[in-house]
Structure 1
C-alpha cells in the first residue's frame, strides 16, 4: 500500500458509569462507557487509557464504535482516548427539533465535554461530520485545542454569496443525497422500508468516488443488485452493533445534521473569512467521494487549504482507501494520528 504525504513524515460526581458487556464489542471490551451531562443533554462516551486526552468525533451513519481501533491504539501509547456518540446518535440524547443540531449546539457539547473531563486543552480527531465539528471547534474555541487531525472532510470556508443547499442543488440537482435528506419521506420514510442491517451494509461498504445520486424512482430503500460481501475490515459483529443502535434510535438525529446546513450558514456569518489557527493534519483516501467532490483536489493541493489553515502541517492521501478510512485502514490511520500528536 502506498501512502502519499505532502508536508512531511509520516470526572465528575454526577457521572454514571456503565461498563461494556463482555463480548458485545469483541476485543475492545476493556473500553469503558459512561454518560455525562453536557450543554443540556446526556452524552454517551467511550474511553480508555490515561494521559493527554484525545477526543475522537465520528460521522454519519456512525457511532463512537467507528473509533474502536484508534481508542485501543492511542490508549496503549499513553493517551486518554475519548469517543462520544454525538448528539442524535447511539446512546446520547437526540433532541427532536432540527434546530437543535446547529454547529453551535454540537460544538457546545464538545466544549462542555472538555470541561467535564477536567481538561484545559485536548487533541481532537474527526471523521466526516466529526471532521466538520472538529474544524468548527478550532474556529470557535482554538484555545481549547492542542491540534486537530481531520479525516475525509477538509475545512470548508463559508461562502458568503450562496447557501450550502442552493449550491448543492445547483451542482448536483435535487436527487443528490444531501438534498434528498431534506425530505422526511425520502430519508427516514425510505430507511424504514429497508432492513436496518442491510442499510448499514449499504452505507458502510460504499466505495465509489462518484457523487451519491438517489433518483426518486429508486431511492435509498432499493435492494442491492447483488449480495453485499463485507470487506475484511468490517465484520458481521461490527454490522450487528451498528444495527442494534440505529434500530433503537432511528436515523433522524444523524440526518438532522444535513438539515441544519443552511442554519449553520446563517449562524456562522460572523466567522466569514476566519482561518483555522491550530496545528492540523488532513488524511483522505484517494477513492473517497469527498476527494472527488468538484474542486476538492484543487483546493486541497493547490494552496487554498493551506491559506485557510495556515498551521496545516501534513496532507496524507492513502491509495485504495474509501470514505470510512479510520475503519478500513485502521492501523495506518492510528499511526498517522499518533505520530502527529506525539510531536505537539
Structure 2
C-alpha cells in the first residue's frame, strides 16, 4: 500500500484561469506548490506531501489543467505555458498566500521554471525534477523533433497530432500506463541496446517497445488504479495538449529567449533517465542558466519517476534545500 496517511490530506477545488484547479494539501507553514508531469496527477507526490508536512511546510499538489479533477478546456491553445503559469499563480493566491516555492517534475519542471521566470514576484524559489532547465531558444520545436530518430518517429512528434496517441492509449489506458511507467523506470526499462521506447517505428505504436514484464517496484496495483482511473474518466486529450502547444510556447515566450532563472534553485535527476543523459549539455550550462542554483543531484540507479522511485532521497533533498532557503 502507499505510504501516506490519506486522512491527513485536504482536497479542494479553487478558482483558476482554467476554471477550477484541484489541490491536495497537507501540513502548515511556508507554501510549497508541487506540479506533476505526463502522464500523472497530484498522486505522483503522495510520498512528498507527508514528508514536507512533517518538515514544517504546507505542501500543495495540483492536478494540472487537463488532468484529474481540474478543468479540461477543449482548445489546444488553452494549454500554453503562460496559461499553466497563470493557474499556478491563481492557486497560490486562492490558498491565501502571496508567495510560494514551486517544485515540478517532467512537464511540471518546465511549468515551475517558467513560473519563476514569468512571476518572480510570486515564486521565490524553484526545484526541477527529471527535466533540467533549458532556456527558450533555437529552432521551432516541431522542426527539431521531426528531425530526430531517422526512420523512427520521436514520441513528442507522435503526440503532437490530435487523436493519434489517444487512439493507441484509450482502448486500454491501464495497460498502456503500466507499460509506459515501466519503460522509463530503472528496474524495468528495456536493456541497453534494445530499441528505445521514446521512438515509434514506421506504422507502429509506442506500446510496441514497452517492456512486457511486471510493474516497476515503485508502482503497486492500487497506485496504478488511481492513475488509470483518472485517465479512463477524463480521456487523454487534455494531458496530450501540452505537447501540442510547444510551437505556440516558442512564439509566446520569445521575450524570454536565453533567460536565466535567478531565484534559488534545485535540480534532481535520475542517472538512468533519458531526460538527464540527452540533456547533459543543459545540466552543464547551469552555472549560466541557473545562477541561483543551490545544489544539483543525480540519483544513481534511478529512472524518470524519481519522486516515486526514490521517495526518501527526494524528500530528504527537498527538505534540506527548503530549510536552507532565505526565510
Instruction: Tell me the TM-score normalized by structure 1.
Output: 0.87
Q: 2 CA distance for matches of 1:211 and 1:234?
A: 19
Is it true that 1:204 corresponds to 2:185 in the alignment?
A: no
Specify whether residues 29 and 233 from structure 1 end up closer, same or farther in structure 2 by C-alpha distance, changes over 3 A only.
farther
Q: What root-mean-square deviation, in Å, do the aligned CA atoms of Structure 1 and Structure 2 show?
A: 1.9
Describe the shift of the 1:323–1:214 C-alpha distance in structure 2 as closer, same or farther (beyond 3 A): same
SS of the counterpart of 2:47?
helix
- Range moving further from structure 2, 183-192 or 254-263: 183-192
* Structure with the bigger percentage of helix: 2
- SS of the equivalent of 1:172 reads coil
Matched positions, count: 315
Kept in 2, the 8 Å contact 1:176–1:211? The answer is: no
- Residue 26 of structure 1: how far off its partner (Å): 6.8
The corresponding residue for 2:283 is 300
Q: Deviations over 1:247-292 (max 9, x none)?
A: 0011111110011000000001111122111100100000011012
Counterpart CA distance in 1 for 2:110 and 2:19 is: 21
**Does 1:123 find its partner at 2:106?**
no
> Which of 160, 164, 172 is the aligned partner of 2:149?
172
| 2:67 and 2:239 in contact (8 A); partners too | yes
Residues 233 and 267 of structure 1: CA distance in aligned 2, closer, same or farther (over 3 Å): same
What is the alpha-carbon distance in structure 2 between the residues aligned to residue 231 and residue 107 of structure 1?
Answer: 32
Determine which of 30, 33, 46 is the counterpart of 1:52: 30
Q: 2:43 aligns with which of 57, 65, 68?
A: 65
Instruction: Kindly state the Cα deviation for residue 119 of structure 1 after the two structures are TM-superposed.
Output: 1.2
Relative to structure 1, the CA distance from residue 90 to residue 216 in structure 2 (aligned partners, 3 Å threshold; closer, same or farther) is: farther
Q: Please give the residue correspondences for 1:184-199 in structure 2 after superposition, counting only pairs within 5 Å.
A: 184-193=162-171, 195-199=172-176
CA contact (8 A) 1:191 1:220 kept: no
In structure 2, the CA distance between the partners of 1:243 and 1:26, relative to structure 1 (3 Å rule), is: farther
Alpha-carbon distance in structure 1 between the residues aligned to 2:264 and 2:221 = 37
Give the counterpart of 2:55 among 63, 67, 77.
77
1:1-344 correspondence to structure 2 within 5 Å: 27-159=5-137, 161-173=138-150, 175-193=153-171, 195-207=172-184, 208=189, 210=196, 212-222=198-208, 226=212, 228-293=213-278, 296-301=279-284, 304-344=285-325
Where in structure 1 are there 5+ consecutive unaligned residues?
1-22
C-alpha separation between the residues in 1 aligned to 2:210 and 2:197?
18
TM-score, structure 2 normalization:
0.91
* 1:61-107 per-position Cα deviation (integer Å, ceiling 9, x unaligned): 00000000000111112111000100000110110100000001000
Secondary structure of the structure 1 residue equivalent to 2:199: coil
Deviating above 6 A after TM superposition, structure 1's stretches of 4 or more consecutive aligned residues are: 23-26
Q: Distance in 2 between matches of 1:242 and 1:213?
A: 23
